[in-house]
Structure 1
């Protein structure tokens, strides 16, 4: 009797749990409910109480819970198919067990930060007899918000004891804003079920979990289309257009490489030879290997190592926002390692420093500035070609290169945003127009760099013609670049920095600070300005033949630079852990990026005008040369690779720092390969053709412009000296060996 009483009480609680989330719209007609093929009474009459308790009570309760809800006429087919499934399941029919077994019956690990309860996607989608049964299945994702019936004051994590109510823990948010009360639930249901019906079915399953006795009111929503099993893949016009473009460019480059070698041997028309060289794979590959020994070789290493750190940080952030099983532990680790990665956006300012430095260096080289419009067009082409190809890939090919529980969600977010707003990226306006739907989130850097280049060229041209006016204009813009971020933060009451918390990495497009300060050109210009002035200083010192610094001074300056960079990073992260005034946050928002840029410049100049043991030779190491020139392509493609690896996840994975590092290394390697393909087939030919078009209009050219992080101008006439092999050509470009010295 006691046992029956407990079962009855549990059944009442579960039914209450399953029905509280749903409001009736139009009830199932009583006669249909009575005449339904499978009723709760029919099930119970077939078995005695003992057998029913041991074998059928769970499924009977599910049926009772489902039929106690208010189903509309449009949902009757879904209800019938579901009851048919449960009837077959009670008979232990294989197809029904196969489908039911693919759904998680209990939420696992939610207290440790495991949000995604995805079940077995492949078992739901690829049953071997799916086409031979009357009921086809679909995989749906439901978002579950575990609300409490009684609202209480939320406690901090350290205030929740082991003997207190677990709901206090579930309602808690970690210091990095990771919510524990939200679940993403994968459901395998009949294809006849719509979003509303799926919500009911998920509610019935949750009613029989251990959450049913917690007094929760789950709000369940299905916001995206379900994936239907054995659904044929349809390739649209965009897919065939991209594949045709890729095949066409591959054929052109291969044929040009063959013709280039043939014409070099026969000494034919130079114009025709230059045209072949524009597409020649060998010539463009040699251009990647060419090391210009102009005193700033350390930039090769700084550029490539910076993109490596950015890839690691992006990979860690994307994975942290995806299906992981130990979210709480990850947030605990951030308390220790967060001082390094929570303000890692400063790494991008290193690219701005390098870009400004090289723009100034190349502008000073000109004896007479060429047409400003021509310079802007060249920069635009160098930036936009690779970007356009990547956007084209995201729109046309990316939806077809994977599958998984979260695949549609990521495809709709990334590919959909590019379909809507990719044209804004091409026009360099994506960081100002529709930033909440920006195509390729990390691409905000590109319009910023282009805007800075345009302003730098115009102001420098003004300086060459009207020196006093140019100096005043440059001074005013420099002050505005430093002050503006602080003013914007103060007016909008924003945080001192953009912290890479869970909420941000989960969906940066919805973050207010991301829109207003993080991606805007007028709030990110300070680092570029510092880099530009340092490049001008470098050329001035070279022109005046300033003496080299001693090794001891170089080491001291390099150490000071590292201290500055570490200090500004750690100070920024401290704003996440402590209270601070509004004016203090505004001051830091204004000064943190120029201070970081100043530290980077000190490090660069200490290596250029002096010698820092190990550091100078390591950063000038020849293998960094081709890799640094691929940095722009790596920057564009690495998030696509990371996104795919997360979108095809079938279940939550364990987040481990060393595993993230190892996986990031593989992402860097694969990204480098695709960046090389992007360079050989699209970037280099476009740059070379542009140079060939305007070749006769240019004055004496400076060294090849590499002011874009990771890009390099094409060199039409680049070729190996006669009589030298590839190996000897590489040897000629190798710097002296890396020296290890104990002397400071």
Structure 2
């Protein structure tokens, strides 16, 4: 009963500051504490405090708290209230560090803030040790305890049993905890200790408990002379800084992989046509579907059946449960690769739109590449027409629908991307994302022409083209800043033009890096484009793409309390996501993707051999992209070592928390990998 009354007193302290002081005072007079005793919990305003300035500032704080003034309420809001989770070992009641230190350290004068708060705050952690007196719980210090070396406690016993000082050194004491308090900066740690000790004195007598207070100077923090901002302010401020477009417009990096995928697909099909002269396009489609789909649907099945059983958390059902429902209802759209059009607002696997887009572009690619080989003029006309349409369509969609020209990465988007209108209506649609892929195909054709002619681009031209590509890339990336300016007037033409052209500008930059690096090279930058250390990971990228979403969902859905985020911590968490995703991808690849891929190759080789025997001809041997391409299009390929240097493409997706690498070295055309991307939240 004593512990219940003690908890009631602490709860009463919270109610006192949030509701009318007059009503609160009458309640407490009828209850256990007087007003001055309650105030001592909040600020060192007691007459026992010898520091006159501390008392003056504390009284001013309490007066403004009654008036519900913002700065005073922020100080109280930043202080710990009723302890939470003490029995579970949560012995640090941290309050809100940043909110406390912001009081009195505001950026002023500004148009909105003419003056700072009249009191500057400091953040202190007081250590409180609680034990019952003998008459309250006689057995508190006894030696014979059934739970002395057990992890179990009798739920029908007194809660004091778990507050006992443990004999087992592996157990954490629960009777000692830290209490965050936001007080005026003019007060010392000793002032706070005196105030809290006096405030707790009536509780000691009334409830027969021992309450010891200690405040260490090292656990009190003052803000510096520069303006101090809370974490929410820092996040919102990031949306206003042009240099942060590297992160906020980081979704543009996804188009890097569309360019790479288009390049490899075009180059690979050209080689296939050259070797076989006539290829079966339907079989090409079938093999592509067979290569991607089995492991893909295995992951979808995991989402729909087992993922929600892995763990639990406060928002587990709201996040993982929602993902399960979407996969149960819409798995068939993933199977048919129409999930970015059909029921797109309830997308199963938030990153799976990319696979659908890549599949759609692959269906078009042979219809362009085959004419490029047999009738180059017709092929170039088709390719140019498709690229032109891919530029015009996003402009029209954005202009008519009055959409924003860039996907703005606000917190509301990160909470659930598929439910965002701009995300499912514009961002994930194949017709809005096609330009980079087909620009990559054009780059592959140009690469072949340059290699055929053995052309080395002059250094002057390299510098000029590199400068132009740099301007294009930076403009595409940082141009999104204007769309983050709060309150800025909406201009439909401006948004439509940026939505249409910024992906083209970025794709041209990437295409130049590929073509320039594979033909003439970039001098000192070339080693960065030829890092071999990541080659072993290249086989795992598809599985990592499929599984990383579950890793991120798990991290979010198992959170028990909010976490303060900073850029170093974001980097640390992103590194963890990448590492865990590739570890899981290794097992998925070994147990599913590799065996299924081997079976498919065996079946297709057997079918091809039977077909050649029926035709009375020797089977066409398997060839690789290292072999000679068509002389009318591309140059005689170099040796295997040279191919590694020239046709190896390494891409690091820093904005999307993935490192992805694709190489044509040693792969058959059927093994041209799907280059992948990751979408954040």
Coarse TM-score class (shorter-chain normalised): 0.5 to 0.7
Partner of 2:94: none
Q: Contact 2:383 / 2:438 at 8 angstroms: preserved in 1?
A: no
Q: Select the residue among 249, 257, 269 that pairs with 1:351.
A: 257
Cα distance in structure 2, aligned partners of 1:390 and 1:487? 36
1:692–1:11 Cα change, 3 Å: closer
TM superposition shift of 1:583: 1.3
1:13–1:522 Cα change, 3 Å: closer
Give the greater-gyration-radius structure (CA).
Answer: 2
Unaligned runs of 5+ in 1: 1-6, 19-42, 59-106, 128-156, 166-323, 718-744
Q: Contact 2:323 / 2:348 at 8 angstroms: preserved in 1?
A: yes
Q: Is 1:618 the counterpart of 2:537 in the alignment?
A: no
Partner of 2:323: 414
TM superposition shift of 1:340: 1.3
Cα distance in structure 1, aligned partners of 2:462 and 2:479? 26
Q: Is 1:600 the counterpart of 2:505 in the alignment?
A: no
Q: Select the residue among 618, 624, 630 that pairs with 1:703.
A: 624
Matches within 5 A, 1:172-571: 326-336=231-241, 337-366=243-272, 367=274, 368-461=277-370, 470-542=379-451, 544-550=452-458, 553-554=461-462, 557-571=465-479
Cα distance in structure 2, aligned partners of 1:119 and 1:383? 53
1:12–1:481 Cα change, 3 Å: closer
TM superposition shift of 1:122: 6.9
Query: Which is further off, 329-338 or 655-664?
Result: 329-338
SS at match of 2:352: helix
TM superposition shift of 1:574: 2.1
Query: Which is further off, 604-613 or 492-501?
Result: 604-613
Cα distance in structure 1, aligned partners of 2:426 and 2:454? 39
The CA deviation string for residues 718-744 of structure 1, in whole angstroms up to 9 with x for no partner, is xxxxxxxxxxxxxxxxxxxxxxxxxxx
Q: Contact 1:687 / 1:714 at 8 angstroms: preserved in 2?
A: no
Q: Contact 1:551 / 1:611 at 8 angstroms: preserved in 2?
A: no
Cα distance in structure 2, aligned partners of 1:541 and 1:109? 70
The CA deviation string for residues 348-388 of structure 1, in whole angstroms up to 9 with x for no partner, is 10000000000110111122242111111111122223322
SS at match of 1:575: helix
Q: Contact 1:382 / 1:687 at 8 angstroms: preserved in 2?
A: yes
The CA deviation string for residues 700-729 of structure 1, in whole angstroms up to 9 with x for no partner, is 544369999767899999xxxxxxxxxxxx
1:458–1:123 Cα change, 3 Å: farther
Q: Contact 1:531 / 1:597 at 8 angstroms: preserved in 2?
A: yes
1:500–1:602 Cα change, 3 Å: same
Q: Contact 1:421 / 1:439 at 8 angstroms: preserved in 2?
A: yes
SS at match of 1:503: helix
Q: Select the residue among 675, 693, 703 that pairs with 2:585.
A: 675
Q: Is 1:629 the counterpart of 2:539 in the alignment?
A: yes
Between the two proteins, the alignment pairs up a number of residues equal to 450
Cα distance in structure 2, aligned partners of 1:595 and 1:576? 20
* TM value normalised by structure 2: 0.58
Q: Contact 1:637 / 1:671 at 8 angstroms: preserved in 2?
A: yes
Q: CA RMSD in A?
A: 4.5
Q: Contact 2:383 / 2:442 at 8 angstroms: preserved in 1?
A: no
Partner of 1:573: 481
Cα distance in structure 2, aligned partners of 1:52 and 1:645? 43
TM superposition shift of 1:573: 2.4
TM superposition shift of 1:56: 13
Q: Contact 1:395 / 1:415 at 8 angstroms: preserved in 2?
A: yes
Q: Contact 1:448 / 1:521 at 8 angstroms: preserved in 2?
A: yes
Q: Select the residue among 161, 168, 174 that pairs with 2:113.
A: 161
Unaligned runs of 5+ in 2: 1-11, 40-69, 91-108, 118-228, 609-619, 627-647, 652-659, 669-681
Cα distance in structure 1, aligned partners of 2:605 and 2:84? 57
Partner of 2:213: none
TM superposition shift of 1:584: 2.0
TM superposition shift of 1:556: 5.0
Cα distance in structure 2, aligned partners of 1:123 and 1:15? 29
Cα distance in structure 2, aligned partners of 1:576 and 1:480? 28
SS at match of 2:497: helix
Matches within 5 A, 1:661-672: 661-672=571-582
Q: Of the two structures, which has the highest relative contact order with CA contacts closer than 8 Å and spacing of 6 or more?
A: 1
* TM value normalised by structure 1: 0.53
The CA deviation string for residues 4-62 of structure 1, in whole angstroms up to 9 with x for no partner, is xxx9xx9999599x9xxxxxxxxxxxxxxxxxxxxxxxx99xx983647689999xxxx
SS at match of 1:630: helix
TM superposition shift of 1:483: 0.5
SS at match of 2:453: coil
Cα distance in structure 2, aligned partners of 1:119 and 1:478? 62
Q: Contact 1:634 / 1:675 at 8 angstroms: preserved in 2?
A: yes
